[in-house]
Structure 1
């Protein structure tokens, strides 16, 4: 259906988009993961395809409890009942790589009174590593074949598959996710409003991860459904922005899967009559840190220049920065790309286009990146898209709070590199 999806009208295209999503859901974990990854790459794929593939975040297979039991016992060399006092057989969540159970850790010191510890146990699906490798070979083969069909070239499958391979394999090793959690916990050790699940060593294995169970409400409860409580929503917008800025500008270690499904909120009650105005304080917990991004100094500098140019609505500089966001730039007509971006930004800078938000400018810039076949390295695009995702739900939380404006204020400080650590840490530390 793909060769005709551009030419047979809106209804046919809608049917084709649904067919793509359903096919990926039924094809296996690698295809689901590719779809989830592709949904976050508006520089490679049309926006309507990205929107449809974003639905894959909620679709996942499940495996039996008997398999879970065997996997845990094999990983840790002990019977399930020797590790856990209680283990709920029904999973609380299931993803394309693993599913999560709730359990109570067994007391290690029988003669002492110890509060039972509720934990989350993440167990990898059976044969997922081998299945993903097999599926990846099939995807790669199809991507290579697609290059010989002019009507399929616009999908840019060959380019996307190369970048996807690194992302996909990082998701399979749960011990790697545990290491990422430990690093985030250390980076945010002084922050009272942000936390991550704690991996419980030695109960960490490539196929099984035991971590602290985090209570909380999905952030969408505050984004979409909770009326009032403006101070909580505003606080969440500030916390999320400063957490991302710290990851990006201070630590160079970014949670690259920061969609709302991976963010919980706990509302803490202040103590004492003197804190009446601040009774409700939100605490943010980031989950599922298997996918992260780190940038080289050169890439970080280029990305900062890109954000500066977008904030200033300087189209020519933004386009030139974009062309530098890949070491293997294959844009066939870079001057045309620069001219098109410059024209668009000049409209945004006029009185007629002044109402357009900088984040919307960036979204439309990525659409031009796709049309002109401009290469952006995967890690850099991940950071850009993470910023846009964060900005999207924060604009709903607090329309008055501008993520891009906060970023701009920091980037245009002459001494931002020296003072940034103290600025962000001072804002968020107790």
Structure 2
């Protein structure tokens, strides 16, 4: 979109910022300098607005600017490592509730997407929306077999509107990136990119259905968390049909108490569910505010949660998942040196960081928290403070970690709402320990070996040839990234060491693969024989490991 066509919309943005006395954004950023001269054309903000804190005024301004700006505010609220806490708290209250579009249009969209009349698809379709948001709205319906469902329908023309608004956000982000004095900390273009990615995902309801299906499989028992079933024959990219569930929002304390549910038990279960989703399954609900997390009032003996709205889900690269879990354990155990080492080992910080200085900074942040009772310590708040501190050491913060941070804040908020005295540390520590024991145990490693075995067996016949070619390349000087052959073969001792490494390495690999084959092909045999093969393979590797010359 050309700057000329954007001018009226930029003018409107400036007008709303001025209306809510956000002049410091205009003045400090120098974004709308030409428009500042026309401030007198706008009426002064009402007294009730002038008395509000800056975060509340910004929240009201974003609400007036429209749903896409609300989404941007929601994303910005997660960046507590970048924006003041008072502003982040206010932006976290943003809700993208908008008036529904006509039910007749929803019916037409359903018929177009599913290529059949609504009466053929459903026994009943309620044209009055159950809920309405900026991207889609939800209608109640009944299948021909009597089962109740909800039908989520994308707003008509929403893709074009989002594209237009994203253009505007890119323009504003570029201006802020260029002129805002704190652009290097706020990184407005990164925020815009996060909004764009989030909206792109939410525009694909088939993706949301796939996420719901996976989360449902991960908690198939339904004891702790219930996920509604997806009806794939009645779902497309623009329409999603889900089993209808009944419950109350997790913040409806009065209804939960009236049903006689144990809120303390429910709060502990919510914390456990978070760590299981992140560290056991590596797939977590990343929009877990109370509106999307319900409580099933029909389960008094074994209270459980119900998950809704799967448009924003998160996962971590396997390496980050491991490093993050170890960081949490070190934090629980107040091992500040370990936290510093893990940040560097994970590659989140440059290798030239002085570990003693980083350890001292981590200790400075954490120690004041540990003077409080554990039930009053917020893990989420502490993680945010650590991220803020680590930024001074050139922390490279990945988007998936930011999403996790937001989710942790949401879950802790729900937990403390249900039980203000919950000791999150006492609940989380043993859960994380158990998950790590199971995930990185010998049994888990053998399962991984068994899974990879076909690939290894396919490659095994080529291993001697690959080793021979590598040695030939080293000896001829064609391959220098491993070692300089003139240095490697400089002495007879070095040559012997090379042969020992090669022989022991091949023997160790053969024993490990042999143990895996025995475990995979004869699982009913006693485990001692495969274990002996694996142990012998490890011994061979240890014998062949190159010694440093004295």
TM class by smaller structure:
0.7 to 0.9
Q: Does 1:242 align with 2:242?
A: no
Higher strand share: 1
Q: Which of the pair has the greater relative contact order for Cα pairs under 8 Å at 6+ separation?
A: 1
In the alignment, does 2:206 pair up with 1:170? no
SS in 1 for 2:365: helix
Residue 285 of structure 1 and its aligned partner are, at CA, apart by 0.8
Do the aligned partners of 1:314 and 1:345 also contact (CA within 8 Å) in 2?
Answer: no
Contact 2:28–2:181, Cα closer than 8 Å, also in 1: no
Q: CA deviation at 1:16?
A: 4.2
Q: Does residue 386 of structure 1 match 2:417?
A: no
Q: Which of residues 428, 433, 436 is equivalent to 1:407?
A: 428
Say if 1:96 and 1:317 are closer, same or farther in 2 by CA, change over 3 A. farther
Give a deviation string over 1:27-60, Cα, whole Å, max 9, x none. 3433222222222231232222222222222533
Structure-2 residue corresponding to 1:22: 60
Deviation at residue 412 of structure 1 after TM alignment: 4.4
Structure number having the greater helix percentage: 2
Count of matched residue pairs:
399
Structure 2 residue 99 is matched with structure 1 residue 83: no
Q: CA deviation at 1:243?
A: 2.1
Given the two structures, how large is their TM-score scaled by the length of structure 1? 0.80
| Matched ranges for 1:121-270 at <5 A | 121-153=151-183, 154-222=185-253, 226-227=256-257, 232-268=262-298
Greater Cα shift, 201-210 or 20-29? 20-29
What does 1:47-86 correspond to in 2, within 5 Å? 47-57=85-95, 59-86=97-124
Q: Distance in 2 between matches of 1:159 and 1:420?
A: 41
Deviation at 1:86, TM superposition (A): 2.3
> For 2:174, what is the secondary structure of its paired residue?
helix
**Alpha-carbon distance in structure 1 between the residues aligned to 2:442 and 2:81:** 30
CA drift at 1:87: 2.2
Deviation sequence 1:6-35 (CA, Å, 0-9, x none)? 9xxxx9794543443233334343322222
Structure of higher CA gyration radius: 2
8 Å CA contact retained: 1:311, 1:405: no
Consecutive unaligned residues of structure 1, counting only runs of 5 or more, are 108-113, 270-278, 423-430
RMSD across aligned C-alpha pairs, in angstroms? 3.5
Distance 2:328 2:135 in 1: 34
Please tell me whether the aligned partners of residues 237 and 394 of structure 1 are also in contact (alpha carbons under 8 angstroms).
yes
Query: Is the 8 Å Cα contact of residues 93 and 99 (structure 1) preserved in structure 2?
Result: yes
Confirm whether residue 303 of structure 1 aligns to residue 341 of structure 2: no
Mapped contact 2:374–2:423 kept (Cα < 8 A):
no
Alpha-carbon distance change, 336 to 164 in structure 1, aligned in 2, over 3 angstroms? farther
In the alignment, what sits opposite 1:313?
Answer: 334
CA distance, structure 1, for counterparts of residue 344 and residue 75 of structure 2: 22
Structure 1 counterpart SS, 2:149: strand
SS in 1 for 2:169: helix
Q: 1:284 to 1:227 in 2, by over 3 A?
A: closer
* Distance in 2 (alpha carbons) for counterparts of 1:137 and 1:336: 43
What secondary structure is seen at the aligned counterpart in 1 of 2:150?
strand
**Matched residue SS, 1:88:** strand
Q: Alpha-carbon deviation of 1:148?
A: 2.2
* 1:324-343 aligned within 5 A: 339-343=360-364
In the alignment, what sits opposite 1:293?
Answer: 314
Alignment CA distance shift 1:101-1:337 (3 Å): farther
Residue 416 and residue 201 in structure 1: after superposition, are their counterparts in 2 closer, same or farther (change >3 A)? closer
Give a deviation string over 1:361-407, Cα, whole Å, max 9, x none: 23433454678874421111212321232122213323454333333
Q: Specify the SS of the correspondent of 1:102.
A: strand
Q: 1:47-83: CA deviations, max 9, x gaps?
A: 2222222222253343122221211111011122222
Query: Contact between 1:256 and 1:382, CA under 8 Å: does it hold in 2?
Result: yes
**Secondary structure, in 3 states, of the residue corresponding to 1:50?**
helix
Q: Distance in 1 between matches of 2:333 and 2:27?
A: 40
Deviation readout 1:280-307 (Å, 9 max, x if unpaired): 4323210001111111111111211221
Deviations along 1:222-267, whole A, 9 cap, x unmatched? Answer: 3x67558775212312332232222112211111111111011123
SS of residue in 1 equivalent to 2:305: strand
Q: Distance in 1 between matches of 2:437 and 2:95?
A: 40
Once residues 128 and 394 of structure 2 are traced to their aligned partners in structure 1, the CA distance between those partners, rounded to angstroms, is 46
CA 58–417 in structure 1, closer or farther in 2 if over 3 Å, else same: same
Bigger shift: residues 178-187 or 339-348: 339-348
> What is the distance in 2 between the residues matched to 1:418 and 1:155?
38
Corresponding position of 2:538: none
Q: Please, what TM-score do these two structures have when normalized by structure 2?
A: 0.64
